[in-house]
């Protein structure tokens, strides 16, 4: 069995957190920029957003799957220094200049303003999102502090500050949608878990994750293990339940789950293979050749993904009962 995974931003942009909670950093905007919706996005269906080619660029993807196009650039808030685009792209976290607070911004809203998150780390080193984007984890390397932000995006608040992580630093973080379970891998390869804000405990079982995610609205953790070349489902993360093998001979470096929690998608960018697995039946929906795809991001609909390739072409992927469909954006729009 194997999985489906999908690629997100062009290679010119760097992912700052593991998929599918990947956070995309976009450099400081021009001094004269104003927040607001792209003019031709008004009244059009917004599938999601494509950053690049420059560090300040963000374009709406308009229309429907199979007939989508890139819209005009969306200008970012003039105070922003970095953007962290959430899972599902319903919002972005905005890191601002100087001492301004971390804030939430909806790039699809006309004249959308910023909603500050009181007490949140203003300049995190690592940001990761839950599978639906309902919560986020912020990590500060120097202090070893991890904050959990919940209520996203409408009522963002700092839910808890976890006990400090001692050295070595965190390299991967996964957080559940309800913000109650957090799993961390540090740079030494140790995996720790915290439940309900309590002290860190060693994670049960030996894993070498290349990618991981919680299943939406659950505490079940899915791990792509590079050592065992397999994908595992761990029900109630941190429990003593036996792990379930979802796929063998598959070493995805990105994994995600559709917003409804029905389908696991995974990408092995090295071997150029994309898989999908039905999480109810735990049966594969088949493998799809994915040569040159190298990143993955879920778009606003929850079952459509944005994939980029090494030749900078832009592909949309949609997960359905029959597997994965692909649609390449028109060349004129995709040449960025």
What's the 3-state SS for 100-164?
CCCEEECCCCCCCCCEECCCCCCCCCEEEECCCCCCEEEEECCCCEEEEEECCCCCCEEEEEECC
Instruction: Record the tokens describing residue 285, joined without a space.
Output: 């929906």
Length of the chain: 336
Residues 20-78: tens digit of each pLDDT: 444 444 444 443 444 455 555 555 789 999 876 655 678 889 999 999 998 888 888 88
Residue where the block lists tokens 């999102």: 129
Residues 156-190: tens digit of each pLDDT: 999 999 988 877 889 999 999 999 999 999 999 99
Asked if residue 105 lies in contact with residue 114, where contact means CB atoms within 8 angstroms, the answer is yes
Closest CA to 80 of 62, 56, 108: 56
pLDDT band at 336; cut points 50, 70, 90: very low
- Specify the range with the lowest mean pLDDT, choosing from 147-151, 280-284, 305-309: 305-309
Distance, in Å, from the CA atom of 6 to the CA atom of 327, rounded to the nearest integer, reads 13
Q: Does pLDDT of 300 surpass 60?
A: yes
Q: Which of 54-58, 92-96, 329-333 has the highest mean pLDDT?
A: 92-96
Distance, in Å, from the CA atom of 302 to the CA atom of 258, rounded to the nearest integer, reads 5
Asked if residue 308 lies in contact with residue 11, where contact means CB atoms within 8 angstroms, the answer is yes
Distances (CA, A) of 188 to 15, 42, 167, 192, 241: 21, 48, 9, 12, 25
Residue ranges per domain, the chain? 39-334
Distance, in Å, from the CA atom of 316 to the CA atom of 296, rounded to the nearest integer, reads 10
- Collapsing DSSP states into helix, strand and coil, what is residue 39? helix
CATH superfamily, domain 39-334, is YVTN repeat-like/Quinoprotein amine dehydrogenase (2.130.10.10)
Answering whether pTM is above 0.75, one says yes
């Amino acid at each position: 069995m194997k999985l489906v995974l999908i690629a997100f931003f062009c290679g010119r942009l760097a992912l700052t957190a593991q998929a599918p909670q990947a956070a995309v950093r976009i450099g400081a905007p021009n001094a004269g920029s104003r927040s607001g919706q792209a003019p031709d996005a008004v009244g059009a269906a917004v599938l999601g957003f494509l950053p690049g080619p420059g560090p300040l660029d963000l374009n709406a993807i308009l229309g429907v799957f199979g007939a989508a196009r890139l819209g005009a650039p969306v200008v970012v808030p003039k105070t922003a220094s970095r953007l962290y685009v959430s899972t599902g792209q319903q919002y972005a976290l905005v890191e601002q200049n100087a001492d301004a607070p971390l804030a939430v911004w909806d790039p699809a809203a006309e004249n959308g303003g910023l909603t500050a998150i009181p007490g949140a780390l203003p300049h995190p080193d690592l940001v990761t999102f839950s599978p639906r984007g309902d919560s986020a984890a912020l990590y500060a390397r120097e202090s070893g502090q991890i904050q959990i932000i919940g209520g996203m995006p409408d009522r963002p608040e700092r839910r808890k500050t976890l006990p400090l992580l001692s050295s070595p630093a965190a390299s991967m973080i996964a957080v559940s949608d309800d913000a109650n379970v957090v799993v961390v891998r540090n740079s030494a390869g140790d995996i720790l878990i915290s439940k309900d804000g309590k002290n860190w405990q060693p994670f049960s079982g030996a894993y070498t994750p290349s990618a991981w995610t919680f299943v939406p609205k659950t505490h079940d953790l899915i791990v792509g293990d590079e050592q065992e070349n397999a994908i595992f489902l761990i029900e109630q993360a941190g429990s003593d339940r036996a792990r379930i093998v979802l796929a063998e001979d598959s070493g995805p470096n990105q994994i995600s789950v559709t917003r409804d929690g029905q389908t696991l998608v995974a990408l092995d960018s090295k071997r150029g293979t994309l898989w999908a697995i039905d999480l109810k039946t735990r049966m594969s929906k088949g493998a799809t050749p994915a040569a040159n795809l190298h990143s993955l991001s879920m778009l606003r609909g929850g079952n459509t993904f944005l994939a980029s390739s090494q030749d900078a072409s832009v592909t949309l992927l949609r997960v359905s009962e029959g597997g994965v469909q692909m649609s390449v954006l028109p060349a004129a729009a995709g040449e960025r």
